[in-house]
């Protein structure tokens, strides 16, 4: 997998409980090793400058040097087993615009085994927070590993800032799936996932994706508000946005 890939797939949410709501949207994302990020560049895909498709370091981390930032963060928070390649999974910009509700940084050891994942979460209020996930004792993260983190960051006004996320990362270079379950007081309240099948990141596939899914990045925020309206009309309890957590990263 030691090169950039384009993934086409779906994003799904299912609210459980008394007032249910569910949706599935077609979507896409890229996943690439940070050491090879310049290989993203082509006639139609640029790095740190405008193009039909583009990826900008200022959209992630400290906005300067993505690889240095993420390695420093892993080390600072004790993810010392990450001494190999780091991959980033995110949506690229299309015509200069993107909103990534969540991006995933995958930290591997020198044998290529997954050791830590950083989830970089953004809300529509311009705030962001990071959840650092590791297995106990920095064990290898496999398809069967369930990773847990306390919810501390406001994302939706229809859920309180409490409870727990449970993550599972499965797949390979050809298929990827991230499943995130949200639990409140030991009750499963929300199931979400992002999945995709890989294709080569070529100009031909970029054009095909642009024609099929080019509206996706623009529609992300609109869809968030549309689903919020549906929940409000169903009478789901509305929670005011609290102040963001004092720490930027939760372990």
Q: Say if residue 143 is exposed, middle or buried (CB neighbours under 10 Å; 0-12, 13-18, 19+).
A: exposed
Could you list the pLDDT tens digit for every one of the 251 residues in the chain? Answer: 678 999 999 999 999 988 999 999 999 999 999 999 988 999 999 999 999 999 999 999 999 999 999 999 999 999 999 999 999 999 999 999 999 999 999 999 999 999 999 999 999 999 999 999 999 999 999 999 999 999 999 999 999 999 999 999 998 889 999 999 999 999 999 999 999 999 999 999 999 999 999 889 889 999 999 999 999 999 999 999 999 999 999 99
Strands across the sheet with 175-184, in order?
147-150, 164-171, 175-184, 187-200, 5-15, 21-33, 86-90, 102-108, 114-122, 128-133, 249-250
Cα of 212 vs its chain's centroid, Å: 21
Residue closest to 31 by CA, chosen among 172, 229, 181, 184: 172
Query: Would you say 193 and 2 are in contact if contact means Cβ atoms under 8 Å apart?
Result: no
How far, in Å, CA of 201 to CA of 8, rounded? Answer: 11
Domain count of the fold of the chain: 1
How far, in Å, CA of 205 to CA of 40, rounded? Answer: 13
pTM (2 d.p.)? 0.96
Backbone CA torsion sign across 223, 27, 17, 135: negative
* 191: containing domain: 5-250
| pLDDT of 133 | 99
| pLDDT of 218 | 86
| pLDDT of 19 | 92
| pLDDT of 106 | 98
How far, in Å, CA of 235 to CA of 241, rounded? Answer: 18
């Amino acid at each position: 997998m030691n090169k950039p890939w384009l993934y086409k797939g779906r994003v799904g949410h299912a609210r459980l409980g008394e007032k249910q709501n569910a949706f599935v949207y077609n979507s896409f994302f890229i996943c690439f090793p940070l050491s090879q990020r310049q290989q993203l560049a082509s006639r139609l895909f640029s790095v740190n400058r405008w193009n039909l498709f583009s990826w900008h370091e200022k959209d992630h981390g400290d906005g300067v040097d993505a690889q240095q930032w993420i390695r420093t963060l892993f080390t600072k928070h004790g993810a010392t087993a990450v001494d190999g390649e780091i991959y980033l999974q995110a949506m690229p910009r299309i015509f200069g615009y993107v909103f990534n509700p969540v991006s995933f940084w995958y930290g591997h050891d020198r044998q290529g085994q997954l050791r830590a994942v950083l989830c970089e979460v953004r809300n529509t209020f311009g705030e962001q927070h990071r959840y650092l996930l590791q297995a106990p004792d920095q064990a290898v993260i496999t398809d069967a590993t369930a990773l847990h983190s306390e919810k501390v960051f406001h994302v939706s006004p229809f859920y309180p800032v409490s409870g727990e996320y449970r993550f599972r990362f499965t797949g390979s270079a050809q298929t990827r799936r991230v499943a995130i379950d949200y639990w409140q007081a030991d009750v499963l309240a929300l199931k979400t996932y992002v999945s995709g099948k890989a294709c080569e990141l070529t100009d031909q596939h970029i054009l095909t994706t642009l024609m099929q899914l080019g509206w996706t990045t623009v529609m992300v925020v609109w869809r968030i508000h549309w689903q919020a309206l549906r929940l409000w009309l169903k009478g789901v309890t509305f929670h005011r946005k609290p102040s963001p957590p004092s720490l930027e990263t939760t372990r």
